[in-house]
Amino acid sequence: MNKHIQIAIDGPVAAGKGDIALRLAKELGLVYIYTGAMYRALGLACMSQSVPMDDQKKVLEVLQSIKIGLQYSPLHEKPYQVFLDGEDVTDRIIKQDAAMAASRVAAHADVRHEMVEQQKQIAQGKSVVMEGRDIALRILPEADLKIYLTASIEERAKRRLEQFQKNGIEKTLSDVLSDTKKRDEQDMGRAADPLKKLPDSWELDTTNLNQEQVVDAIKSELSKRGLL
């Protein structure tokens, strides 16, 4: 494998970006960076300070006043952890309110600008697999492989429901389906860097694939490009 490799994964809600990126990180010895966790932590901070999420100036002030930490520890039972001002919020940010808050604060151009700067710093000089909505576009425009990971909305909602159930969060499939649609609309419809597949991204539809098959497909694409 190359000495230095950077893989960007973008895609809609619950396309499997996190699970796949974590598997790739472990198998290829890369650092896993979950950028959505940072927007979720910011959303959480805004909720706890009762800051209106539509107010760009106030949301930016919150971002500039907090410290968000990401930690990747492949051998730990929690392979990644997210810290907000030193407090471990990993379990808290998976909830639906944090996801929706993240999507709302992520709509502001100035907030994105600041996040992009922080996220570029985190990735700098490292071999990484980084996932989010603007990785190929803004964070790693020179990535060795840019993946656009997707799946049908029904399959994504089903997978997200299973994740919630695993974490003891009670939801119905129709709730999860409507939240997924709403968040997709926000993330793809915003003016500031909306989620979209770039012309130089490689699209992988995972609707009928299990995680192992997705990882194999990505590894074979890396080999084809002489990156493995």
Binding site for ligand DC (CB under 6 A): 13, 35-36, 39-40, 99, 102-103, 106, 132-134, 183, 187
Q: Closest separation between CB of residue 132 and ligand DC, Å?
A: 2
**Exposure of 212 by Cβ count < 10 A (0-12 exposed, 13-18 middle, 19+ buried)?**
exposed
178 touches 186 (CB < 8 A): no
Q: Closest separation between CB of residue 68 and ligand DC, Å?
A: 12
Residue from 11, 9, 65, 25 nearest 41 by CA:
65
The answer for residues whose C-beta is within 8 angstroms of residue 213's C-beta and 6 or more apart is none
Residue closer to ligand DC (CB basis): 99 or 128: 99
Q: Strand 128-132 vs strand 6-10: parallel, antiparallel, or unpaired?
A: parallel
Q: Closest separation between CB of residue 12 and ligand DC, Å?
A: 9
Q: Closest separation between CB of residue 224 and ligand DC, Å?
A: 26
> What is the sign of the dihedral through the CA atoms of 222, 139, 49 and 67?
positive
Residue closer to ligand DC (CB basis): 40 or 159: 40
Encoding tokens for residue 162? 């299973």
How many Å separate Cα 178 from the centre of its chain? 20
Three-state SS for 81?
A: strand
Residue closer to ligand DC (CB basis): 116 or 228: 116
63 touches 115 (CB < 8 A): yes
Instruction: Indicate the helix (H) or strand (E) that contains 202.
Output: strand 202-205
Residue closer to ligand DC (CB basis): 5 or 16: 16
Residue closer to ligand DC (CB basis): 91 or 216: 91
Q: Closest separation between CB of residue 223 and ligand DC, Å?
A: 27
Encoding tokens for residue 208? 């009928």
Residue closer to ligand DC (CB basis): 96 or 228: 96
Q: Closest separation between CB of residue 34 and ligand DC, Å?
A: 7
